[in-house]
Amino acid sequence: MSHSISAFQAAYIGIEVLIALVSVPGNVLVIWAVKVNQALRDATFCFIVSLAVADVAVGALVIPLAILINIGPQTYFHTCLMVACPVLILTQSSILALLAIAVDRYLRVKIPLREEEGVRPHHSPGLYCAISCCRLPWEGGPEPCLHPPGYKTVMTPRRAAVAIAGCWLLSLVVGLTPLFGWNNLQEVERAWVANGSVGEPVIKCEFEKVISMEYMVYFNFFVWVLPPLLLMVLIYLEVFYLIRKQLSKKVSASSGDPQKYYGKELKIAKSLALILFLFALSWLPLHILNCITLFCPSCHKPSILIYVAIFLTHGNSAMNPIVYAFRIQKFRVTFLKIWNDHFRCQSEPPTDEDLPEDKADD
């Protein structure tokens, strides 16, 4: 059956398509930059790639599905439910990737760095030998710890990969929970049977018609969104405190250059905290509207407010590459190099400025 599209729907679709056209290429560029620049290969940028993959999927999958739902096709209940679940999976993946990034930045400033990394250890080595030793139990058991491990010893590429895989697995479990039974099927079936119909219900596919608001508020928001966001805020506050504390110390002649290291960490931490702030700013309005729907069913929610909240959630996927380009020099230099090499056909030989791993961000 054909559906006529109103002018309002056409405007909605146009904005969604614009967001997708910014989000997908921008985040593909982030993934590309990490692939081609060896300086972007540490754990933090691996977690950023995981976040970028989720954002690419938002532009390439979630936004087309959202447009489909907005048109309102008639579908079977479980078909509509499967259309609604991807956004839950990808949102959770983004939250867990942001949490992993926050924990990684905390480890970079908390764990004592070895002398050869330029910063004198300033914590008790026994503590870190106890919690991280040199191997995890599933990596062959502990081995003697003769020195306090540095960040690169604790956060190995293998452990980062395990963390990323764990984040995605947990996101699948959280996002697919409605398919396991926590949904509105019983309410829809009661209305379906009351109308004298038989078989699986056929409905106008809408998110709130298939996804339980109890699930969205009590489980999704109160368990898997709000606590991680609050934890990340506490982690970044601790990161800034530790960095400021180190920068305020007097530097001895034999301690290398900790001021340079912590100065760079401060700038990167500010950029990543901005990513977290934008994520919270983009997603909290929609979750607050869900709380209003659950706790005050009679309250009127203006349609324009709902659409703005939806645009914010989808638009967040397009924000991160812009922040990386303007705030993190390693990304900025690599983006420009990719542009010159592959789109302007003006390959430039690498210079000192192309290797910014030892240079603090502007």
pLDDT band for position 112 (50/70/90)? low
CB 134 within 8 A of CB 146: no
The predicted pLDDT at position 17 comes to: 97
Asked if 335 and 29 touch (Cβ cutoff 8 Å), the reply is yes
The widest CA-to-CA distance across the chain, in whole angstroms, is 85
pLDDT of 41 higher than 90: no
| Sequence-separated contacts (24+) of 41-46 with Cβ below 8 Å | 41/157, 42/152, 42/155, 43/104, 43/155, 43/157, 43/159, 43/160, 44/101, 44/104, 44/105, 44/108, 44/268, 44/272, 46/157, 46/160, 46/161, 46/164
What is the pLDDT confidence band of residue 349, given thresholds at 50, 70 and 90? low
Q: What is the pLDDT of residue 153?
A: 84
Q: Is pLDDT above 80 for 162?
A: yes
- pTM of the predicted protein model: 0.85
Mean pLDDT of 99-109: 93
Check whether 352 has a pLDDT greater than 80.
no
Residue 263 tokens, joined: 């100065």
Write down the pLDDT at residue 3.
59
C-alpha distances (whole Å) from 28 to each of 34, 318, 321, 335 are 10, 11, 9, 11
| CA proximity to 66, closest of 28, 9, 23 | 9
Residue-wise pLDDT for 262-281, tens only, equals 888 899 999 999 999 999 99
Single-letter residue type at 208 = E
Token pair of 260, please? 């340079």
pLDDT in tens, 283-305: 999 999 999 999 999 999 998 99
Contact 264, 360 (CB under 8 A): yes
The rounded distance, in Å, linking the Cα atoms of 31 and 45 is: 9
Write out pLDDT tens, residues 180-218. Answer: 999 999 999 999 999 988 888 999 999 999 999 999 999
> pLDDT confidence of 131, banded at 50, 70, 90?
very low
